[in-house]
C-alpha cells in the first residue's frame, strides 16, 4: 500500500465552477500515513469515462479514491460505473437504508426518505462506510488486493469520512507506520551556509528521520519526517533532535512546529505574550480572517475594524480629516494614523493597518489600482511600507497584501529577540 491515485468526478470542477479542495485534503491526509498520491484524474460524470479511468488508476495505484458523482440527482453515474467495472450489481443495503432513515429522521425530513432511498442501493460486493453528514454512503471495493473508495463530492462530507474512517481503516489493515512531521523555519541564512552549519547534526540523525530543505522566498523550511510504529516515540524523538539543532542556529529560527505564516505569527505572539489588532481598508477583512483562522488566536487577537467608508476612518480610528484632505486616503500618513487609532481602540501591543486600491475601479482619490500602504505598529515604534501589485485581481490582491503584512511582522518580531 504505497501509491494512491485520486479520481475527481464532476463537471462542476471541469467547468471551472468549483475549485477541487478534496484532492488537496486527501493527499495531505494520506501523506501522514506514508501513502503518496502519484496522480490525480479529474473527469466528467460519464459511465465509460469513469470505467476507463478506474482501469488506468488501478494500473498504477494500490489505492484508488474517487470523489463526486454520487447524489440524488440524475447526473450521478459513478455507482453504475463502479458496478459495471467490478462486474457487480446494485442492490439495496439494509444497514445503509437504516442509517439513511435515522439520518433523515434526525433532520425531520422523513417525508423525503423515499426519494432518497436510491442512496441505499450500492454494489453488492462493496463494504459501506456510513456518511454521518450527508446521504451518499462511501463504498469500498477490492480488486486483487487493491482497494477503491468512492466518496461523495461535498468537502465537509469527505473530510470526516477520510479522517475518521478511511485513514484509521488503512492504518490498521496494512499495519502502516506512523509518520510524524515537524517543520523548522529558518530566516537570514542562505541554504548552502545553513547546510554547512548543521552538517554534523544532520549526519547524526537517526535512520528513521529524513531531513529536507524547502526554500520559500527568503525563508528555508527544514522538514523532519520520522516514521515508525509508535506515534508517541516519534514525537519525543523529533522534539529531541530539534532541541539539539536549536543551539546551532538559534537566532535564525522563527518557528519549530508551524508552517503557514499565520501559524508562525500565532506561535510568536503566544511566546512573547503580545496582543494584536487590525485596521483594514483594501484588504476588507482578509487580514483579520487570516489571523483568526489559527486555533487559539482569541488569546492574542483582540479585534479589528474594516473602515471601508472614508468617514469611518475618521470617526472610529480618529484619522484626522486634515491628513486625509492633505495626503488622500490611500497614503502613508493615513496608514500610520489608522494603526495608531487601532492600537488605542483595541488597547493592543501591536496594530496593523492597510489602505489601498484593490480595483478593478480606481480609488476615489484617483490612486492607481494595486497601490497599498500598510503600517506595522509595535508599542510606540512603527514602520510603513508601500506595495504596488497592479497585476493581481481583487481577491488575490487582498490575500497577497495580508500575507505580506503578516510576513513582515514575523520578520520584525524574530529580529527583536
DSSP labels, 81-145: HHHHHTT--EEE-HHHHHHHHHHHHHTT-GGGHHHHGGGGEEETTPEEE--SSSSSPEEEEEETT
Q: Please select the residue that binds a copy of itself; options are 215, 244, 246, 322, rule is CB under 8 A.
A: 215
> Residue 14 or 412: which CB sits closer to a copy of itself?
14
Instruction: For 391-404, give the DSSP string.
Output: TS-HHHHHHHHHHH
Residue among 26 and 54 whose Cβ is closer to a copy of itself: 26
Instruction: Using CB under 8 A, count the residues that bind a copy of itself.
Output: 102
Query: Closer to a copy of itself at the Cβ: 102 or 142?
Result: 102
Cα–Cα distance, 109 to 170 (Å, whole number):
34
CB of 203 to a copy of itself, least distance (A): 10
The grid coordinates of residue 199 equal 552538517
CA distance linking residue 196 with residue 199, whole number of Å: 5
Which region among 86-94, 151-159, 165-173, 332-340 touches a copy of itself (by CB under 8 A)? 151-159
- Strands 90-92, 121-123: parallel, antiparallel or unpaired by DSSP? antiparallel
**Which range of residues in 120-128, 234-242, 266-274, 396-404 is near a copy of itself by CB under 8 A?**
396-404
The pattern of x and - marking residues 303 through 342 that bind a copy of itself according to CB under 8 A reads xxxxxxx--x---x--------------------------
**How near is the Cβ of 170 to a copy of itself at its closest, in Å?**
16
Q: Does 75 bind a copy of itself (CB under 8 A)?
A: yes
| Position 30 contacts a copy of itself (CB under 8 A) | yes
Q: Are strands 63-67 and 90-92 parallel, antiparallel or unpaired?
A: unpaired
Sole window of 35-43, 87-95, 138-146, 380-388 interacting with a copy of itself (rule: CB under 8 A): 35-43
Q: With contact defined as beta carbons under 8 Å apart, do 375 and 383 qualify?
A: yes
Stretch that binds a copy of itself, among 91-99, 122-130, 352-360, 376-384 (CB under 8 A): 352-360
Question: Does 92 contact a copy of itself by CB under 8 A?
Answer: no
Considering the complex, what minimum distance in angstroms separates the CB of residue 163 from a copy of itself? 9
Candidate segments 90-98, 121-129, 189-197, 241-249, binder of a copy of itself by CB under 8 A: 189-197
Which cell numbers in the block locate residue 413? 518580531
Closest contact distance (angstroms) between CB of 266 and a copy of itself is: 12
Is position 121 an interface residue for a copy of itself (rule: CB under 8 A)?
no
Query: Regarding beta strands 276-280 and 253-255, do their DSSP bridges make them parallel or antiparallel, or are they unpaired?
Result: unpaired
Asked whether position 40 contacts a copy of itself by CB under 8 A, the answer is yes
Among 66, 67, 297, 353, binds a copy of itself (CB under 8 A): 297
- Residues 292 and 286: their CA atoms lie apart, in Å, by 10
* Cell matching residue 121: 442501493
Dihedral of the CA atoms 45, 48, 50, 53 (nearest 10)?
Answer: -140
Q: Which stretch binds a copy of itself (CB under 8 A): 120-128, 138-146, 240-248, 359-367?
A: 359-367
Half-sphere exposure of 63 (CA within 13 A, CB side): 21
Q: Is the peptide bond before 360 cis (omega within 30 degrees of 0)?
A: yes
The nearer residue to a copy of itself, 72 or 142, going by C-beta atoms, is 72
Q: Is 69 in the site for a copy of itself (CB under 8 A)?
A: no
Amino acid at each position: 500500500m504505497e501509491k494512491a491515485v485520486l479520481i475527481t468526478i464532476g463537471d462542476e470542477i471541469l467547468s471551472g465552477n468549483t475549485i477541487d479542495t478534496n484532492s488537496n485534503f486527501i493527499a495531505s491526509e494520506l501523506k501522514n500515513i506514508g501513502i503518496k498520491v502519484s496522480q490525480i484524474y479529474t473527469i466528467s460524470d460519464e459511465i465509460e469515462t469513469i470505467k476507463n479511468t478506474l482501469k488506468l488508476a488501478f494500473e498504477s495505484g494500490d489505492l484508488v479514491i474517487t470523489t463526486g458523482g454520487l447524489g440524488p440527482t440524475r447526473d450521478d453515474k459513478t455507482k453504475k460505473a463502479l458496478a459495471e467495472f467490478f462486474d457487480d450489481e446494485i442492490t439495496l443495503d439494509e444497514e445503509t437504508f437504516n442509517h439513511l432513515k435515522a439520518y433523515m429522521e434526525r433532520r425531520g425530513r422523513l417525508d423525503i426518505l423515499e426519494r432518497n432511498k436510491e442512496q441505499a442501493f450500492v454494489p453488492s460486493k462493496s463494504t459501506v462506510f456510513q456518511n454521518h453528514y450527508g446521504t451518499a454512503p462511501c463504498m469500498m471495493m477490492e480488486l486483487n488486493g487493491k482497494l477503491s473508495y468512492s466518496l461523495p463530492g461535498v468537502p465537509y462530507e469527505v473530510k470526516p469520512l477520510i479522517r475518521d474512517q478511511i485513514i484509521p481503516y488503512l492504518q490498521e489493515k496494512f499495519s502502516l507506520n506512523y509518520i510524524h512531521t515537524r517543520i523548522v523555519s529558518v530566516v537570514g541564512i542562505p541554504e548552502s551556509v545553513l547546510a554547512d552549519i548543521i552538517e554534523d547534526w544532520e549526519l547524526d540523525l537517526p535512520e528513521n528521520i529524513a531531513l529536507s530543505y524547502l526554500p520559500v522566498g527568503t525563508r528555508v523550511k527544514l522538514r523532519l519526517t520520522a516514521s515508525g510504529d509508535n506515534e508517541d516515540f516519534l514525537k519525543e524523538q523529533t522534539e529531541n533532535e530539534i532541541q539539539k539543532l536549536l543551539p546551532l542556529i538559534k537566532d535564525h529560527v522563527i518557528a519549530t512546529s508551524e508552517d503557514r505564516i499565520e501559524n508562525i505569527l500565532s506561535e510568536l505572539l503566544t511566546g512573547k505574550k503580545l496582543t494584536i489588532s487590525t485596521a483594514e481598508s483594501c484588504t476588507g477583512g482578509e487580514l483579520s480572517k487570516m489571523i483568526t483562522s489559527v486555533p487559539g488566536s482569541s488569546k492574542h487577537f483582540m479585534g479589528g475594524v474594516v473602515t471601508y467608508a472614508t468617514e469611518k476612518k475618521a470617526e472610529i480610528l480618529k484619522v484626522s480629516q486634515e491628513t486625509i484632505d492633505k495626503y488622500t486616503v490611500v497614503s502613508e500618513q493615513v496608514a500610520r494614523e489608522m494603526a495608531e487609532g487601532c492600537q488605542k481602540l483595541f488597547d493592543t501591543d501591536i496594530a496593523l493597518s492597510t489602505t489601498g486600491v484593490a480595483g478593478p475601479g480606481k480609488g476615489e482619490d484617483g490612486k492607481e489600482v494595486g497601490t497599498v500602504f500598510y503600517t506595522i505598529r509595535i508599542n510606540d515604534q512603527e514602520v510603513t511600507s508601500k506595495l504596488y501589485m497592479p497585476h493581481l485581481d481583487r481577491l488575490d490582491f487582498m490575500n497577497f497584501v495580508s500575507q505580506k503584512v503578516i510576513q513582515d511582522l514575523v520578520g520584525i518580531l524574530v529580529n527583536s529577540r
